[in-house]
Amino acid sequence: MLFLYGYDYTVEDLKSFRQLHSKTPGHPESTDCPGVEVTTGPLGQGICNAVGLALAQKQFAATYNKPNYTLSDNFTYCFLGDGCLMEGVSSEASSLAGHLQLGNLIAFWDDNQISIDGSTEVAFTEDVIARYKAYAWHILEVEDGNSDLAGIAKAIEEAKKVTDKPTLIRIKTTIGYGSLAQGTHGVHGAPLKPDDVKQLKSKFGFDPEEFFAVPKEVTESYQKHVESNLKVQKEWEATFAAYKKEYPELGAEVQRRLDGKLPEGWEKALPSFTPADKSVATRKLSEGVINALSDILPEFIGGSADLTPSNLTKATGSVDFQPPSTGLGDYSGKYIRYGVREHGMGAIMNGIAAFGANYKNYGGTFLNFVSYAAGAVRLSALSGHPITWVATHDSIGLGEDGPTHQPIETLAHFRALPNCSVWRPADGNEVSAAYKSAVSSTSTPHILALSRQNLPQLEGSSIEKASKGGYVLKEASKPDVILVASGSEVEIAVNAAKLLEAEGKKVSVVSIPDFLTFDKQSDEYRLSVLPDGAPVVSIEVMSPFGWSKYSHEQFGLSRFGASGKAEDVYKYLEFTPEGVAERASKTITFYKGKEVLSPLTRAF
C-alpha cells in the first residue's frame, strides 16, 4: 500500500522483503521504512501506541483549535489481531482509552480465530466483546470481513459518529483467504507454494504468470486518493496560514513545535545549586524541574502510574487530562493519570511521541517497576522515541519496602539497551543536567533514576560538567586510587575519600551519572576523567554488571536488598564511607608497584 501511495519504495524494494539492508524488513520499523508511523513488532504494542496517538491528538486539538480554525481533528486507526488482544498490555491501554473517552480512536479486530499454535480454541475463548464493553468502548461487528467492503466502510462511518467512546470493530475474517491453506496457522508466517499462488491469482482475476505487477485500475484508484489527500493538505496549510495571522503567538508556537524546536533559552529555567543549598531527595529536585519546565514548554506533558505523591511528577497547578464530562479536568490538561499500568504507560508514551508536534512526554513509577514495561522501553530505543521515565525510589535507599521494590539488576539491564540513556544523578545540578539531556533529545529515550532519600549538593558539581555524562568531582594530583560512583553513592565516595586522605592517601572522585552520554565524549576527555596510573573502584548499590568498562574493581550488590530503615540497610550491606574506604585500601595494596592502565584502554 505504501508503494502504491507513492512513498519511497521501488519494485526492487518489494522483491527484497526480509533481506539485509532492505526497506522492507520482516517487521516494519518507523526509522527505516517510509510511511510507517510506529514500530510495533511485539504483539499488543500497536493498540497502545494508537491510544497514545489519539491522546496526543485530543490534547493538541484542545490546546490549539479555535472557532473556524481546526488544526487537528484526525482519527487514529489501529489494526489488531487475536494475539494482540491476548497480551496484557493491550488490556491496560484499552481500559485507559475507555476511561478517557477517546472517541477519535477506531480499532479493527481481525477476528480470524487463528494463532501460531493453531486455533484460538486452545487458549483464547473469552468474550472479547463483553470485555471491551466493560472498558466503555463502542462495539461494531462485520460478519464477512473477506468480501463485504461496503459493510466495513459503513462500520467506519458509524464509528466516527460516536465521539465519546473509542470504537472496536470486530471483523470476522479467514486467514489466508483464497489460498489452499486458508483458515490454518500454517499460512501465518510461511510463503505460499507456487501452485497455490497461481490458483489464488486466477481466483481473483490476476494473470497467474505475471509477478510484481499492479493492474492499471488499482494504480489509478490509489492516485485519486493521493490527489485528494494533497488537496486536503493544501487546505490545511491555508487554514494554518490564516490561523497564524489571527493568533500570531499561538501560531508561532505551533510552528515551532512542528519544526521540532524548543523555545530559545529554555535551559535557563533549569535550577542550579551550590554546596550551601540544603540536602534534598533527587525525586524532589526532579519535581522542581518539572514545575520549571511545565511553565515554559506546552509540549512537556506527563503523568504517573498511580504514584504521583511518591514520584512527585505533577506540576503545581497543572490540570489533569480527563474527559470534560467527568469534572476531573479537560482535554487540554497536561497531567495524565495512567493508573497502575506501567507497561501500558510506556507504550502509550511511545504513541504520544510518534504523534509529532515535538511532544516531550514523561511517565513516573518506581525504578524497579520500569522493568514491567521493558518491552515498551525497548521499542522506545529502537524507534528513537525521546520519552522520559521519572523512575524514583532508585535503590536500597527506599528502605522499608524491601527487596520486592529495591532495584538490583534494573540499571544494568537498561544500560545494556542500545540508544537508552540511563541517568542516576547525585545532586540537583545532575538532575538538571539529566532533564537537559532528556528534553533536548530528539531520538533517545531517557530513564532518570531518582532517590527517595535526601542527598547533599556536592562541591565540584555543575550542570555543565554533568552534561558530559561523567566528570571529575574531586581531583587529586597523581591519585593512589580513583573512586567512581553514581547517584547516592557519590556522597559515600566523597566521604570515603576523606577517610583515606586522613591516612595519607591521595584520592580522586568521579561521578558518572549516565554511561551513554559519557561514552559519546572524546577519548581525550574520557581519559582525562579516568586516566592511566591509578586503579579505579566503582561503587553502586546495585548489580556491578557493566561497571568493568570504567573500573578495575567493582563494589556492588549481587544479592537482593533488605527491608529496614535505609541507613540500617546501607550499613548492613557495608555501603558506608568505611566500607568503601576498606575496599579502596585493599585495591591500592593489590595494585601497588604494578603498571595501571585506564580501564578505558582497550584493544578495540
**Nearest by Cα to 438 from 600, 267, 565:** 267
Q: Is 519 annotated as a binding residue?
A: no
Residue 310 assigned as binding residue: yes
Q: How far apart are CA 279 and CA 487, in angstroms?
A: 13
> Is 8 assigned a ligand-binding role in the annotation?
no
Determine if residue 526 is labeled as part of a ligand binding site. no
Task: Answer yes or no: are the C-beta atoms of 169 and 155 closer than 8 Å.
Answer: yes
Residue 439, class by beta-carbon neighbours within 10 Å (0-12 exposed, 13-18 middle, 19+ buried)? buried
Per-residue burial over 172-189, b if 16 or more Cβ lie within 10 Å, else e, is bbbbbbebeebeebebee
Q: Is 369 annotated as a binding residue?
A: yes
- Sign, CA dihedral 74-75-79-80, equals positive
- Please give the backbone phi and psi of residue 596, each rounded to the nearest 5 degrees, phi first: -115, 115
Active-site position among 342, 430, 540, 553? 342
Burial 39-65 (b: 16+ CB within 10 A, else e): bbbbbbbbbbbbbbbbbbbbbbbebbe
Q: DSSP letter for 510, please.
A: E
Give the 3-state secondary structure of residue 281.
strand
Phi, psi torsion values for 195, nearest 5 degrees: -65, -35
The annotation status of 556 as a binding-site residue, yes or no, is: no
Question: Does the annotation flag 18 for ligand binding?
Answer: no
What is the C-alpha to C-alpha distance for residues 449 and 433, in angstroms, rounded to an integer? 13
Ligand-binding annotation for 41, yes or no, is: yes
Annotated binding-site residue? 42? yes
82 annotated as a binding-site residue? yes
Helix/strand/coil for 109:
strand
Cα separations (Å) of 310 from 287, 294, 329, 367, 464? 11, 19, 21, 12, 29
Q: Verify whether residue 235 is a known catalytic residue.
A: no
Q: Does 283 count as an annotated binding residue? A: yes
**Cell 480512536 sits on residue:** 105
393 labeled part of a ligand binding site: yes
- What is the distance between the alpha carbons of residues 380 and 350, in angstroms, rounded to a whole number? 6
Residue 144 assigned ligand-binding role: no
Q: Mark the binding-site residues for thiamine diphosphate, compressed into ranges.
A: 41-43, 83, 112, 188, 369
Q: Mark the binding-site residues for Mg(2+), compressed into ranges.
A: 82, 112, 114
Q: Mark the binding-site residues, compressed into ranges.
A: 41-43, 82-83, 112, 114, 188, 283, 310, 369, 393, 401, 405, 452
Q: Mark the binding-site residues for substrate, compressed into ranges.
A: 188, 283, 310, 393, 401, 405, 452
Catalytic site residues?
Answer: 342
